[in-house]
Structures are given as structure tokens and as C-alpha cells.
Amino acid sequence: MSAFEYRDCTLYCEGVPAGELVAQFGTPLYVYSRSEIVTRFREFRSAFAALDPLIAFSVKSNGNLSVLRLLADEGAGADIVSGGELYRARLAGVPAERIVFSGVGKTVAELAAALEAGIYAFNVESAGELRELEGLGEATGVAAPIALRVNPDIESPTPHAYTRTGHRETKFGIPIEEALRLYRAAARTTGLRVRGIDVHIGSQILEVAPYVLAVQRVLEVVDELRREGIELEFIDVGGGFGIPYEGEPGVPAAKFGEALVPLLRETGLRVVLEPGRYIVGPAGVLLTRVLYIKDMGEKTFVITDAGMNDLLRPSHYASYHRVAPAEQHPERATITVDVVGPICESGDFLALDRAVEQPREGELLVIGEAGAYGFSMASTYNARPRPAEVLVDGENARLIRRRESYEDLVRGEVECL
Ligand code: LLP
């Protein structure tokens, strides 16, 4: 059962009504359910339990320190893509040996910091990055643990082109032929420690087949390396496991596990997985207040106090998030509206042509499935302070990030006046 449900027409997060949260913390407000995060993490882990994998939670999906701490306590590691995410993960208590570092544009300073921290592996995405790491390894006397992120050249079925990363036309990964050459060269160095192999084909994937195909391609590389005497320790299958956004049944982690566990188990390699959205997406909502209802004849606009700066996904990927009143009034008629924010852009919307219960000015709306890539993609565009974040645990709601202030907005600039 979801942690967000209506009781007598009032939306609750666990034991706390949405209205109470807003009375205490204001709007827009990101609300996460502790139990839902933990339940989803455990469900994911049990789907792959036979492999005893390292589950490196993808920090980019939700990097709040309290969320990271909660997952670290559950045994999760972290998939990071920047020095900032390394900082967050370490501050939240994620052990360095459970951290993998992906991304095409890691700076030398970021590589050096992660090497010094003692992370599990760098998922290397280019020959240039490998060269930098070799130099760092030699200079410090600590061989850099590496995996090459292979580009398997497959089309992954994601809802938007921006989140497809498995084919050749993207900037991600290294073509297989080149990866083989780089592995051979890396194995001869003292600055590098060849440790694994990595693939990540995209995000919000609701099919099992592309994973199977990607893993098969990667295992061909593993076999070839083995024939050449280069033994790997781990295979990282990446993240991307999708969630249902429109209330459809979705694909449980167990389905991915059923298909992948047998394939991976026979390799004898340690397995790393990098889920983000699957763990936190359904465990969070965004609460927003209706400011105005504007009837333009052709269209009715519901103007909310949350905009694209708070939740970018609808604008950026044309993605669907459920929108509903926090207090249901079943007697109300259903009308079709655009739910839009206060930002001065026509592309600022949370939902287009959406059938909703006739909204009223001043009422609260809930935007569903906002726990992943919600706050983490929020900005201060239009000089709007970013929202607060709250973690609900049973009857208790804990502020895990305070709402930004105007002072926060100008903090880095004041000394220049
Ligand atoms: N590992 C790597 C190397 C990644 O690039 C990503 C996501 C993940 C893991 C985690 O993927 P997940 O399990 O969360 O799907 N902002 C977009 C999603 C971009 C994902 C980027 N990489 C969105 O809001 O849909």
C-alpha cells in the first residue's frame, strides 16, 4: 500500500494529513515517506538478493542528506556524478568503498578527491579520463580502481530522447572495440587497477529486454578479456528501472531480477546496481497551493505556487505527473485544465489538458511521484527560493531541508556589492 492515500477524502502521508504539513512548513513543499523509501529499497534488494549486490543509490535522483543517510543505514552505496555528490554522500555517511563515480566530464580535481576518499570504482567514460586517472594513480602511488562504461549501442525504450544513453549517438560510454583496447592498455599500467565493467542504458525503462541485451553485450566483453587473461571483479548494470507515473501497474523490481539474476550469477562477478527513481520516485510528492484560476475562454489555467523551477520534469521532458486535490470533493464536476506555475515562460507547466476535480482558489494540490528528480533538479529561476523538504515517519514530520530565503538567493553575491 502506498504511503500516500486518502482517508475520508483527505490526503495523508503516512499518519499526517497533507494540510497539517503545509500549515507547518508552507508551500511548495516536497514530502517524502520514510517507510516508502525503506520498503522500496528492500523490495529492490530482495529482487536481486541471490547476487548480494552493491546497490549504489543514484544520488542525482534525490541527494538530500537525510534520504542518503536513511539509505546508507539500509546498506546502500552511492552512484555519484560529481565532486558535489561525493561530498553529499560522504557527509551522509555512505562508506567510500560503496561509492561508484560515473559521468563523462569529471574534472581532475573531482577525480583526485574521489581517489583520495578511496571509492570503490571510477566508471570511466573516455580515453582522456583514463589517462588522467593513470597520472593521478602514478603520482599518488594509489592505483585508481576503474571500470569502463561500455556503450552497448542499443536503443533503450525511454519516454524521452534526453534520457536514452545506450546508443552510439549519445555522449555516454565507450564503444566496445575501443573499450577492449583501453582495457588491454590499462592492465599494463601501475597507475590503474582494472576492477570492473559498467553499462547504463537510460532512465525510466519499463521493459526487461533491453537490460538483458545490454548485459549480454557486456558479458561478451568480459569473456574476451578473460580469454586474454584480464580478470574483472564486478559488473555494474547501471540504473534506469522505471516507475508507473499514471497509476498503471508498473514493473516490479522482481521482474528485472528474474531476468537478470540468472545471467549475472553465472559470471561469478560481483554485481553493482544504480537505481535512483525506483527507490525514491513514488516515495515523494510535491504539495502546492492554487493561487488563481484563470479562465481564458479556450482554456482554463490553474495557477499554482509551484512552477518549473520547483519541478522541471513536465516542462523539460513533457513528462506526466498526477495532479489531484489534497481534499477530495466527489460532488465537484471534472474539468480539463492546464496546471501552470508562476514563472514567466509559456513552458512553465505541471500538467497540460488535464481532467481534474474543479479546483478552487486557495486549495492544496498534490503532484504525484515527485520524489525523484524533483527537488534535485529545482532551481531558483525568477529568483524563487527553492522549496522545503520534509520526511514523514509515522505521525512525525521532520524538516530535512528548510525553505530557502531571499538571503540564500544572494549569499554568494553580497560580498561583491
Ligand atoms: N546511473 C547512471 C550512470 C545514470 O546516469 C543514472 C541517471 C542513473 C544511474 C539512475 O537512473 P534512474 O534509476 O534514476 O533512472 N532527470 C531525468 C532522469 C535523468 C537520469 C540521468 N541518469 C528525469 O527526471 O527523468
- In whole angstroms, what is the distance from residue 352 CA to residue 290 CA? 15
- Quickly state the pLDDT bin for 416 (edges 50, 70, 90): confident
pTM score:
0.97
Mark residue 300 as left, alpha or beta (left: phi above 0; alpha: psi -120 to 50; beta: remaining). Answer: beta
Distance 159 CA to ligand 1 centre (A): 13
Could you tell me the sign of the dihedral formed by the alpha carbons of 407, 412, 413, 417, in that order? Answer: positive
Which strand ranges, in their side-by-side order, compose the sheet holding 4-7? 4-7, 10-13, 16-17
Mean pLDDT of 154-163: 80
Provide DSSP, 25-92: H-SSEEEEEHHHHHHHHHHHHHHTGGG--EEEEEGGG---HHHHHHHHHTT-EEEE-SHHHHHHHHHT
* Grid coordinates given for 212: 538483458
The angle at the Cα of 235, spanning 232 to 239, to the nearest 5 degrees, equals 160
Mean pLDDT of 375-403: 98
Please indicate whether residue 27, judged by its CB atom, sits closer than 6 Å to ligand 1: no
Residues in Cβ contact with 69 at an 8 Å cutoff, skipping those fewer than 6 apart:
92, 93
Task: Name the closest-CA residue to atom 7, ligand 1.
Answer: 203
- Quickly state the pLDDT bin for 306 (edges 50, 70, 90): very high
Distance 43 CA to ligand 1 centre (A): 19
Please indicate whether residue 163, judged by its CB atom, sits closer than 6 Å to ligand 1: yes
Please indicate whether residue 151, judged by its CB atom, sits closer than 6 Å to ligand 1: no
Q: What rounded mean pLDDT belongs to the chain?
A: 96
Distance 59 CA to ligand 1 centre (A): 9
* Grid coordinates given for 309: 523551477
Ligand 1 atom nearest to CA at 281: 14
Q: 516542462: which residue's cell? A: 315
Please indicate whether residue 203, judged by its CB atom, sits closer than 6 Å to ligand 1: yes
Q: 471534472: which residue's cell? A: 334
Written out in words, the top-level CATH class of the domain with range 4-32+281-410 is mainly beta
Residue 182, number of CB atoms within 10 A of its CB = 20
* Grid coordinates given for 144: 585508481
Distance 60 CA to ligand 1 centre (A): 7
Could you give the maximum distance between any two Cα atoms of the chain, in Å? Answer: 73
Per domain, the residue ranges of the chain are 4-32+281-410, 103-273
3-state helix, strand, coil in the chain (%, to 5): 35, 25, 40
Distance 100 CA to ligand 1 centre (A): 14
Is residue 106 pLDDT above 60, yes or no? Answer: yes
Q: Which of 9, 13, 344, 416 is catalytic?
A: 344
To test the pocket of ligand 1, the residue of 55, 61, 160 to mutate (highest count of ligand atoms within 8 Å of its CB) is 61
- Quickly state the pLDDT bin for 1 (edges 50, 70, 90): low
Mark residue 202 as left, alpha or beta (left: phi above 0; alpha: psi -120 to 50; beta: remaining). Answer: left
Task: Name the closest-CA residue to atom 23, ligand 1.
Answer: 373
Q: Where are the beta strands (DSSP E) in 59-191?
A: 77-80, 99-101, 121-124, 144-151, 174-175
Q: b vs e for 292-325, b when ≥16 Cβ sit within 10 Å of the residue's Cβ? A: ebeeeeeebebbbbbbbbbbbbbbebebbbbbbb
Rg (CA), the chain: 23
Distance 58 CA to ligand 1 centre (A): 7
- Give me the residues paired with residue 327 across strands: 10
To test the pocket of ligand 1, the residue of 40, 55, 58 to mutate (highest count of ligand atoms within 8 Å of its CB) is 58
Q: b vs e for 112-143, b when ≥16 Cβ sit within 10 Å of the residue's Cβ? A: bbbbebebbbbbbbbeebbbbbbebbeeeeeb
398 neighbors 67 (Cβ within 8 angstroms)? no
Catalytic residue flag (residue 13):
no
Ligand 1 atom nearest to CA at 204: 15
Please indicate whether residue 40, judged by its CB atom, sits closer than 6 Å to ligand 1: no
Distance 313 CA to ligand 1 centre (A): 13
Ligand 1 atom nearest to CA at 203: 15
- Collapsing DSSP to helix, strand or coil, 377 comes out as helix
CATH topology of domain 103-273: TIM Barrel (3.20.20)
Ligand 1 atom nearest to CA at 275: 13
Task: Name the closest-CA residue to atom 16, ligand 1.
Answer: 373
The angle at the Cα of 181, spanning 163 to 267, to the nearest 5 degrees, equals 70
* pLDDT value at residue 21: 98
Bigger pLDDT: 2 or 250? Answer: 250
Mean pLDDT of 95-112: 98
* pLDDT value at residue 170: 84
pLDDT in tens, 36-85: 999 999 999 999 999 999 999 999 999 999 999 999 999 999 999 999 99
